[in-house]
Amino acid sequence: MDNHMAQMTQAAATHGAPAAQPAVHEPWYKVLYIQVLIAIALGILLGYVSPDWGKSMKWLGDGFIALIKMMIAPIIFCTIVHGIASIGDLKKVGRVGLKALIYFEVVSSFALLIGIVVGEVVRPGAGFGADLSKLDAKAVEGYASKAANDSTIAHILGLIPKSFFDAFATGDLLQVLLISILTGCVLTGMGKRGEAITHGIDSAGQVFFRIIGLIVKLAPIGAFGAMAFTVGQYGIGKVVDLAWLVGTFYTTSLLFIVVILGGIAAFCGFSIFRFLAYIKDELLIVLGTSSSETVLPHMMTKMRRLGASDSVVGLVIPTGYSFNLDGTNIYMTLTTLFLAQAVGADLTFGQYATIFLVAMLTSKGASGVTGAGFITLAATLAAIPGNPVPVAAMTLVLGVDKFMSECRALTNLIGNGVATVVVSRWEGELDVAKLNEVMANPFSIGTHISDDSPQPMATDDPASKVGAPKIAAAE
């Protein structure tokens, strides 16, 4: 038997065919999403058993998020600049961007409307009977003051950094998008000199992705610290007190994912449930940290591996983090209606229309950072004509906002992933064969983000001109 196997191996080598290698299975305890899941469970247990210890773990979660955020700006800059410059056709860049924005606005409108419909049908705040005179307005003064400056003009001016490098220093995603698009467009028209600079930017992107690969290994520690603090600070009892609102929000988000995003996914030829299985690592990290920014670089990698066009990934994913916030949109309208019902305010059709339009505007730029949704909620309440729901009413949901922020971030992440596939197919650049192959086995070890390792690009080869640095899957 051994001689027969040896002869087969030798024959295969003679004919240039590689010998079959046994599949290597990673031990379960080394799989990142299992580590994160265990860390979340331990964090909840510590926060429940010893709240003081749980609260003291906050710095672990904050530190992990800070490490990720310090790399977001340079990665987005390198990705978008290289993507635009590699396309070499500004008309295509504009076409892809326009298609993405149209998709974002349509789906965001569905998210806002589903929040309003569910809020009116379920009426989670009915019978709450909140006494406005007893609300502690000081608890939300910080959010209200930030929201006071949240206007259309402020949004426009906020796009412009004080200097080219100020956008990197502050980490403002919209400002980074602006300077990245400008830089990419200029390099496109610089010919050979632009190609040299583009190659240098791509090389820098390889370095940044390698750094992210190291940082993401700390995800279990960050998830443990964040969950321990959340349960220790607010307690499980806070969720019980407002369980109807929290449960309604989670159910509404799930309904949106399954029905709206699921329908869109089915139209594009894949199952939303298999897609969720494919990005399970990222979902668990976001669940632990309450921020979708923590997985932005690796989400881009997985969308490319799924068959989405490189140039589309490089433009849609970063833009979606500011303009395609489905979870935040649901939260804004549903929570606004909850507060109105809780204080006994009867909203008119005009006030509903204002909530819809203002929420559509203020949600832009709330890019997956914990607390951003609460600030945009304050801005929405302040803009409703007649002020039927005072900003001070936000104190009713202050204690459970942290629990809802996790669902917001998860829904935002899933929405951006689906959007990337949709726009790539709309542009005619979706590798359907690769999509079907990955979706056939979404639990493959090769999809774990901890397995990613950068691979140099051959920029002289037209087939290698992509919108994001190459990240090779470990097979």
CB half-sphere exposure, 425, CA atoms < 13 A: 19
* pLDDT at residue 415 in the model: 94
Number of domains in the chain: 1
* pLDDT at residue 149 in the model: 53
Residue 13 maps to a domain: no
Tell me the per-residue pLDDT of 137-192, one tens digit each, with 9 for 90 and over: 454 454 445 545 555 576 677 778 888 888 888 777 678 878 888 888 888 777 77
* pLDDT at residue 151 in the model: 56
Residue 1 maps to a domain: no
Residue 378 maps to a domain: yes
Instruction: For residue 401, give both structure tokens.
Output: 């906002």
Domain range holding 296? 26-452
Q: Using 70 as the pLDDT threshold, list the residues of the chain that sit under it.
A: 1-26, 28-29, 33, 86-90, 128-152, 154-155, 173, 234, 236-242, 362-375, 398-400, 444-475
* pLDDT at residue 15 in the model: 43
Residue 343 maps to a domain: yes
Instruction: For residue 355, give both structure tokens.
Output: 């909530």
* pLDDT at residue 413 in the model: 92
Confirm if 216 and 450 have CB atoms less than 8 A apart. yes
The alpha helices in 50-172, defined as continuous H runs, are 51-56, 58-87, 90-122, 141-148, 152-158, 166-170
* pLDDT at residue 250 in the model: 93
Query: Which one, of 294, 287, 268, lies nearest residue 423 by Cα?
Result: 268
Beta bridge partners of 471: 454
Residue 10 maps to a domain: no
Instruction: For residue 89, give both structure tokens.
Output: 């056709």
The amino acid that residue 242 corresponds to is L
Residue 5 maps to a domain: no
Residue 21 maps to a domain: no
Cα-based angle 368, 373, 379 (whole degrees, multiple of 5)? 140
Beta bridge partners of 472: 453
Query: Which one, of 336, 390, 343, lies nearest residue 360 by Cα?
Result: 336
CA 88, 90, 92, 96 dihedral sign is positive
* pLDDT at residue 267 in the model: 92
* pLDDT at residue 152 in the model: 59
Residue 450 gets the label, from left (phi > 0), alpha (psi -120 to 50) or beta, of alpha
Residue 308 maps to a domain: yes
DSSP 196-209: HHHHHHHHHHHHHH
* pLDDT at residue 384 in the model: 81
Tell me the per-residue pLDDT of 46-79, one tens digit each, with 9 for 90 and over: 988 888 898 888 888 888 877 877 877 887 788 7
Query: Which one, of 408, 337, 403, 397, lies nearest residue 372 by Cα?
Result: 408
The alpha helices in 216-309, defined as continuous H runs, are 219-241, 243-255, 262-267, 272-278, 280-289, 296-305
Say which residues have a Cβ less than 8 Å from residue 24's Cβ, sequence separation at least 6: none
Question: What CATH number did the domain enclosing 440 receive?
Answer: 1.10.3860.10
Cα–Cα distance between 252 and 248 in angstroms, integer? 6
